Amino acid sequence: MRIAKASEAIGATIEDVDVTRLSDQDFAAIRQAFLDHGALFIRDQTLTPEEHIAFARRWGAIDLNRFFQHREGYPEIAEVLKEPDQQLNIGGGWHTDHSYDLAPAMGSILYALEIPPVGGDTLFAGMAAAYEALDDETKQRISALKARHGNAHVFGKDSKYRKAVGERYTNADQAGQTAVHPVVLTHPETGARGLYVNPGFTLEIVDMDPQESRALLQQLYDHIGQDRFHHRHKWRAGDLAMWDNRATWHYALNDYQGHRRYLNRITIEGVALH
């Protein structure tokens, strides 16, 4: 097994390993790499749905996704799909999965089944690196702030995005959750400090004038948007990617019109954040 850093701010690539045959020692090394790098890109896997689920369960309890279509016969597996005739993709903007939950998902494990001949990459951003690069004045300003997150504008019945995505999303009546989390998160496993706001689901800074809240969030988003905090993953069929929702953003690029892109995702339960 070979583990190599993908970029300075985020990610590691793992090669020469079969995740269906991991010893406890190898799994511990992969788990440590996940905590160290925030995202993992494991090449050349051949997984059945059952093997995908078994690998996910080594990480923790599975969080059954409320809003994605499930793979037939496997409620644990959410389908991330865009057909050749569909214009809008899933995840086509910077976001952090499940930040609208009181106990946001720990992470996701995404397996690539069908990748377009060109395009369809996913961008990742490292929140610890972005936080560390802030000036001291900004760090002090945001140190005790909290932000409210929500999902109705994405998954709710009145969401324009949801209507455009169509039947790939389900259960509009279950949208509407909100949750309050620190703007600066102390990672529950590593203790690292990182930013925990995102353009996809963060609604506002709590107890702040709305205009000031928007300006501060945009300032943080512009900062995180710098290339130096990013890694661009170029998918191949058989790739297994996983990311730590407590330490990353991601963005699925929608630049492959006329081609099919199909991946299977399993999400792992997390804990309340402080």
Active-site entry in 37, 52, 71, 97 = 97
pLDDT of 90: 78
Hey, which CATH number is domain 2-268, 3.20.20.30, 3.10.580.10, 3.40.50.11890, 3.60.130.10?
3.60.130.10
259 assigned to active site: no
91: tokens are: 């995840």
Other beta carbons within 10 Å of 62: 18
265 assigned to active site: yes
pLDDT of 152: 77
pLDDT of 158: 67
pLDDT of 216: 98
Closest C-alpha to 112, from 47, 169, 22: 47
Active-site entry in 52, 168, 246, 265 = 265
Q: How far apart are CA 169 and CA 193, in angstroms?
A: 33
Active-site entry in 52, 95, 181, 233 = 95
The rounded average pLDDT for each run of 10 residues, N- to C-terminus, in the chain (274 residues) is 96 98 97 98 98 98 81 94 88 91 95 97 98 98 97 70 63 73 97 97 97 98 98 98 98 96 97 92
97 assigned to active site: yes
70 assigned to active site: no
pTM beyond 0.95: no
Q: At which residue do the structure tokens 């006329």 appear?
A: 258
Contact yes or no for 154/161 (Cβ under 8 A)? yes
pLDDT of 165: 63
pLDDT of 274: 85
| Angle 196-77-96 from CA coordinates, rounded to 5° | 10
CA dihedral 274, 203, 194, 67 (to 10 degrees): 80
